[in-house]
A = this chain, B = another copy of it.
């Protein structure tokens, strides 16, 4: 993209809007962009220079991506940041989901505001070593829609990278919106100058989700971002049988709650049932799920996290799933994934040296 992104309505053999001959070459004759190209300023974007300076104090930059929305990407970003901070690292979490920022909620930071100093915008801090930046901190009414087209979103992302004063960071975790559009092109273009360690892609075992993950992997390949690995989230629901309700279908097709009766019935007739865990696959993974897709596409598989009501609750309440009321089912799974991530080349050294 040295000579700039070629506009879709450009003539054939377009030299690129950033090239020296933009708007002036023979190929430009009659192109709808000719005048703009001939007169627009050329050369490297001065903002990229400022971004490179800002990012000079950030050791590792990790993108968290997903093809589809609602797969738990922000939950994962939040818990990854909590975990890295708990390991003693200096961590920044940047939410670039402009139209649907979930990060403030998931870190328990709703209603917080960004402050400005002569060093730039200050992140909101959860812990002394975990700072967060999101458009969620900038909207006066949280119910209000941010109805922004691409260029405005790109402008804010640039500003986040250019103007936020993170200080010395071991990890900057960037939580992106789902898909492969404006925000993704912008973050990659802007961060490229500073070097991106790679991307973690979050998915569910559903086929529709896996289709979109393939697109995300293809996006990473196209823009030259390394795939650090894929996480399969919502990988079945496991829950103590005591936490379920039970329904009986009546003859008229209605459902009647018979939970109380079930407890009495089981206590009397089949008490051994009461201490079991019941698991549902939820999403059909008979076709091999994310692990198989990773093998096919040649990218690392980092592991599975089950759909865990306790983790959902931790995310809703903005707390780490690793401390206090620890999430029995999901916390060990997440820990394993983070360990595996650390082993991935480039990150292991940091883990060994400490922060």
* Cβ–Cβ < 8 Å partners of A8 in chain B: 151-152, 155
Contact call B262/A74, Cβ cutoff below 8 A: no
**A313 in the interface, Cβ–Cβ < 8 Å?**
yes
Please give me the residue from chain B that is nearest to A97 by CB atom.
Answer: B179
**A16 in the interface, Cβ–Cβ < 8 Å?**
no
Query: Chain A contact residues: over half helix, strand or loop, or mixed?
Result: mixed
How far does the alpha carbon of A43 sit from the alpha carbon of B267 in the complex, in Å?
76
Segment of A23-31, A240-248, A346-354 engaged in the interface with chain B: A240-248
Q: Which one of B150, B265, B270 contacts A265 once the chains associate, using CB atoms below 8 Å? A: B270
Contact call B273/A237, Cβ cutoff below 8 A: no
Taking A211-B105, A309-B282 as contacts, is the C-beta distance between A277 and B248 under 8 angstroms? yes
Please give me the residue from chain B that is nearest to A74 by CB atom.
Answer: B208
Closest Cβ of chain B to A215, distance in Å, is 4
How far does the alpha carbon of A149 sit from the alpha carbon of B278 in the complex, in Å?
44
**A207 in the interface, Cβ–Cβ < 8 Å?**
yes
**A87 in the interface, Cβ–Cβ < 8 Å?**
no
* Cβ–Cβ < 8 Å partners of A102 in chain B: 68, 208, 211-212
**A266 in the interface, Cβ–Cβ < 8 Å?**
yes
**A316 in the interface, Cβ–Cβ < 8 Å?**
yes
Q: Which one of B69, B180, B270 contacts A68 once the chains associate, using CB atoms below 8 Å? A: B69
The number of times this chain is found in the oligomer is: 2
Segment of A55-63, A117-125, A126-134, A140-148 engaged in the interface with chain B: A140-148
Contact call B106/A208, Cβ cutoff below 8 A: yes
Contact call A247/B185, Cβ cutoff below 8 A: no
**A88 in the interface, Cβ–Cβ < 8 Å?**
no
How far does the alpha carbon of A258 sit from the alpha carbon of B222 in the complex, in Å?
45
Contact call A150/B151, Cβ cutoff below 8 A: yes
Please give me the residue from chain B that is nearest to A218 by CB atom.
Answer: B145
Contact call B100/A68, Cβ cutoff below 8 A: yes
* Cβ–Cβ < 8 Å partners of A258 in chain B: 276
A268-289 residues with Cβ-Cβ distance < 8 A to B are: 269-270, 272-273, 275-284
Count chain B CB atoms within 10 A of each CB in A208, A209, A315 and give the residue with the most.
Answer: A208
How far does the alpha carbon of A8 sit from the alpha carbon of B146 in the complex, in Å?
13
How far does the alpha carbon of A275 sit from the alpha carbon of B247 in the complex, in Å?
9
Taking A100-B178, A150-B182, A215-B99 as contacts, is the C-beta distance between A280 and B145 under 8 angstroms? no
How far does the alpha carbon of A120 sit from the alpha carbon of B342 in the complex, in Å?
53
Please give me the residue from chain B that is nearest to A183 by CB atom.
Answer: B181
**A165 in the interface, Cβ–Cβ < 8 Å?**
no
Taking A144-B215, A178-B178, A180-B99 as contacts, is the C-beta distance between A282 and B312 under 8 angstroms? yes
Contact call A214/B70, Cβ cutoff below 8 A: no
* Cβ–Cβ < 8 Å partners of A272 in chain B: 265
Please give me the residue from chain B that is nearest to A152 by CB atom.
Answer: B8
**A255 in the interface, Cβ–Cβ < 8 Å?**
yes
Q: What are 6 residue pairs bridging A and B, where the CB atoms are less than 8 Å apart in the complex? A: A143-B217, A237-B282, A246-B278, A247-B279, A258-B276, A284-B316
| Apart from A150-B181, A206-B316: 10 A-B pairs, beta carbons within 8 A | A69-B70, A69-B71, A98-B181, A99-B179, A99-B181, A102-B211, A177-B179, A207-B316, A262-B276, A284-B313
